[in-house]
Structure 1
């Protein structure tokens, strides 16, 4: 978070973090008061969504939302009444909620984002209805699953013209609905996707970032690069 990312996402769907680990990670992110802590939950279920919000997540990415009905379920789990049906957890673990105290509840529906994932052909066909659900703040494309659902194989690039048209359609519909278009991305793909209109992008993960940084440092050391003479890590 101190690197100054706009947000830091804990992946409980395909990552290794369970609830206890994710809770500690959320506390660490919150204490930096920098990157917004969000969480991708493993499924569209109110129990895990509520627990992660109670733990301090300020955004929930919900996988495999394919219809307006499923988007309503996601909103219900993410937002307090009258917008949703989120349960009141009196023991708020997150540092942000503790510091805000009573102010947390009136502002939670505005500050805690509900972000359904668009990962299938069905979701694209129902995109307008999903975006029209009150309480959906953004959508987040799972590019590989989306590409697989169209029969193209995992999407490691945007070279497929038909697939690019699908992505462009998603951005166009989001813009019309006034909702943020997000996508799982890479450093190499991010500039072009931003130009196309994807304003929320996850550009790397912890394992990849650690590997790339370690490789770069090793190559610099072997090449005799002296750097700035500082012992600072970042």
Structure 2
């Protein structure tokens, strides 16, 4: 029987943490998948990678048992279906602005009679035992709310049959709702943005949908779980690598400058 571990955890009321891969490297993906995340999302939209890189990344992460997700480059049936065939157990679709687009997205995720997904799970059929039409019940369809139009149509989008959840991209959402008055970024603290982020979680809960939020820090992610989010993404491979490298260099500079000053003093 094909199951999605994220659905099982959420059914038990457990919050999950999602990792994010933007570097087109199987080795980087393998390292990320070994760190204890519940799921890992491969970013085909903004990541430095395409399908030819995403497929070996999925293969590299298979042994970890982590749930594989992917962000499609757009509301495009070819991209969405091909990522599912590669083994993604969930798709995050960017820039969903109205219920019509949400319904189209759902239709690309499901085999008939629930949708129009073409059958041909080339890798998924080998990598996952029992993969077939029953994937309809296992794969997750997450629509991204990122614009003023999407926020305006939030209730209708969340009511879309077959849509599993809403994934919040706070950077684009901030740009859209404030018309560029506020800069893009994660971990919003402005009252208007916190209100919008919290409202999405409330609407998801009311419509029986899962809510996910991209965060910059574990502290903010924990707050979001308290607001009703089921899944939070904390940073991503590029930012984590940069932050760790920067911290290492800064610590080295601090230690060597101090020891250098002491050595200089001792010489006199």
Q: Which TM-score band applies after superposition, normalised by the shorter structure?
A: 0.7 to 0.9
Tell me if structure 2 keeps the 8 A contact 1:60–1:113.
yes
Q: Which protein, 1 or 2, shows the higher relative CO under an 8 Å CA cutoff with sep ≥ 6?
A: 2
Contact 2:170 2:188 in 1 (8 A): no
Displacement after TM superposition at 1:216 (Å) = 5.2
1:81 corresponds to: 112
Question: How far apart are 1:131 and its partner, in Å?
Answer: 1.4
Structure 1 gaps, min length 5: 224-234
Residues 78 and 217 of structure 1, relative CA distance in 2, 3 Å threshold = same
CA RMSD of aligned residues (A): 2.1
- Native 8 Å contact 1:29 1:36 kept in 2: no
TM-score, normalization by structure 1: 0.86
Select 2:157's aligned residue among 109, 113, 130: 130
Structure 2 residue 52 is matched with structure 1 residue 14: no
Q: Hey, what's the Cα distance between the residues in 2 that align with 1:155 and 1:215?
A: 19
Q: Select which of 77, 80, 83 maps to 1:49.
A: 80
Instruction: Pick the structure with greater CA Rg.
Output: 2
Mapping of residues 115-154 of structure 1, within 5 Å = 115-151=142-178, 152-153=181-182, 154=184
Alignment match, 1:28: 60
Which deviations, in whole Å up to 9, do the C-alpha atoms of 1:139-192 show, x marking residues without a partner?
A: 101111111111242144322111111111111111111111111111242121
Structure 1's 98 and 67: CA in aligned 2 closer, same or farther, altered over 3 A? same
Deviation at 1:57, TM superposition (A): 0.6
1:227 maps to: none
Question: Which stretches in structure 2 are left out of the alignment for 5+ residues?
Answer: 1-32, 256-268
Query: Contact (CA 8 Å) 1:30, 1:56: kept in 2 or not?
Result: no
Q: Using a 3 Å threshold, how does the CA distance of structure 1 residues 4 and 156 change in structure 2: closer, same or farther?
A: closer
Number of matched pairs: 219
Q: How far has the Cα of 1:135 moved from its partner?
A: 1.3
**Partner of residue 194, structure 2:** 164
In 2, Cα distance between the equivalents of 1:124 and 1:196?
18
